Amino acid sequence: MAHEITNPIIPGFAPDPSIVLVDGIYYLVTSSFHLFPGLPIYTSTDLKSWTLLGHAYNRRDELSLEHATSLEINLDTGNKLIATLGLYAATIRYHQGKFYVVCTNSILHPTDGWKLENFILTTTDIASGDWSDPVYFNFKGIDPDLFFDDDGTAYIQGSWTIDRTKQPSCTIKQVAIDVETGAHLSEPNEIWTGWSKYDTEGPHIYKVGGWYYLLVAEGGTFEGHHLSIARSRSVSGPFESFEKNPILTARDTNEYIQNVGHGDLFEDSFGQWWAVVLGVRKETGWPLGRESFLVPVEWTEDGWPCVTQPKKKFVLNRKIGKLSNSKEKEEDNLELVHIRNPEPAKYEYSSSNHAAHIKLSPSPQGLSAPRGPVTFLGKRQRALASIATVSLSANNQRRSNITAGLALFKDHLRYASIVYDFKSGYLRFHATNPATGLSRTMESPLALNEVGDMESATVDLRIQSSADAYTLSFRLEASRDWSQLGYITSQELFVRDFTGPIFGVFAQGEETGNTVEFRHFRVEIHD
């Protein structure tokens, strides 16, 4: 039977996918960087329809994102990068009744400097969301993979740092590990330097037909990105590089899905092979960031995987499993995320009909803060054409030293917002991106006296996106037309980065017990 698959399978800020199949259900995890909760877990039974099940990192006491800041860096390609720290590429695996997620928390402490914390999270009941405390293990690098060999020995292989200022910047090293304690059971051993030897990252090991296959991402995560593979008869090598590497790249092509790489191979219930890979859509400014794509995989007669270039849609005569209807069960509030470590006492939340009602206590620092908590609650932008709206009670804290509003947030260096200043009574549009020189502000007085009931006055805020721009607007009553206050193109917010756009509400100001009320916060898809 022919089945049509639509890509991306996980749209909008969903990079570095890793996947595992357990009892007919696929579980997929992606990077989350500076967002809490983090390490989102998506599920599917048919590879077509995916549901957000929860997050492996869902308790603030599990670890800290306080120092998950963003840095502007000059790449060796001559391009600029805004590198956001936090939770980097994770791997999800299953062994003897237990799910494992291994990951790196990359932080930049203001006095202790850059630090990499590699850890393991586990659960025996993934649907419950009850994940363990992290088990930390020493590893000088990022992107850890977990592989259980036939004798039960667990191996970590990851991207071991050599020198991030030049190439080769890293190599693949492996260590046997006690997954219960994080203790090393062997010395770190270099098992492959990669094929192109350029940012060799994201390793995964698989055992197929007596061979151990080592898949890596190389070339950096942008235009030169590619997948390379090697194999060995021993889990610890030596690994033989495939003579036809790379096995996947969109470099120097006109494909709509670009920057493809960082993937995970897997076999389905019917013995068919697939890969989930990272990519971006060929739209100006890559507006949705890096997303997760599904591609079929075939094996050559001499035992090498051939990975197909991702397409927006493809039709296959393959079995795909039980058709999913899990979209109906997805809880809307699972999509809600914070920036770094939230302070729970500053949030009151309820939801009905996919619209959130929120009370926020302002934080002293706002969206431009590089570290620490910011009072912000948002959702990923999942489609090119989207509309985020909210009603702000504009008079409940009149003359307070508070600003609050609706934002499109990528990181503390790049965002656009429409804000109400309770003290001045003005609405303000602000957009910033130091990489492109963007710094734009516009203001408009808010004529609350035109509203009949001054004590219950509200202002509706809206951010409307297209493939190439964002329009920020307001209105005083639902019966009125929207008035545009600000406009930016996707290109103005663009710089090579790791994250993606988040629509969210926020509040900043004096911590005096004041709260700001938002009603009907929703993000709608109009693709």
The set of catalytic residues is 16, 201
Q: Going edge to edge, which strands form the sheet with 305-307? A: 257-267, 273-281, 291-299, 305-307
Asked if residues 142 and 201 have their Cβ atoms less than 8 Å apart, the reply is yes
E strands in 209-302: 211-218, 226-232, 240-241, 248-249, 257-267, 273-281, 291-299
For 116-121, the CB contacts below 8 A with 24+ separation are 116/140, 116/141, 116/142, 116/161, 117/63, 118/142, 118/144, 118/156, 118/158, 119/63, 119/182, 120/146, 120/179, 120/182, 121/39, 121/56, 121/57, 121/62
Cα–Cα distance measured from residue 424 to residue 281, given in angstroms and rounded to the nearest whole number: 42
What letter represents residue 477's amino acid? E
Q: Which positions ≥6 away from 285 have C-beta within 8 Å?
A: 468, 489, 490, 491, 492, 493, 494
Q: What angle (nearest 5°) sits at the alpha carbon of residue 224, between those of residues 14 and 314?
A: 55
**How many other C-beta atoms can be found within 10 angstroms of the C-beta atom of residue 415?**
22
Sign of the torsion formed by the C-alpha atoms of 488, 491, 496 and 499: positive
Helices and strands (H and E) in the chain: how many: 1, 42
- Give the DSSP letter of residue 46: S
- Give the DSSP letter of residue 425: T
Cα–Cα distance measured from residue 93 to residue 283, given in angstroms and rounded to the nearest whole number: 33
Asked if residues 407 and 503 have their Cβ atoms less than 8 Å apart, the reply is yes
> Which residue, among 120, 129, 53, has the nearest Cα to 91 in the 3D structure?
120
DSSP H/E element including 351 = strand 347-352
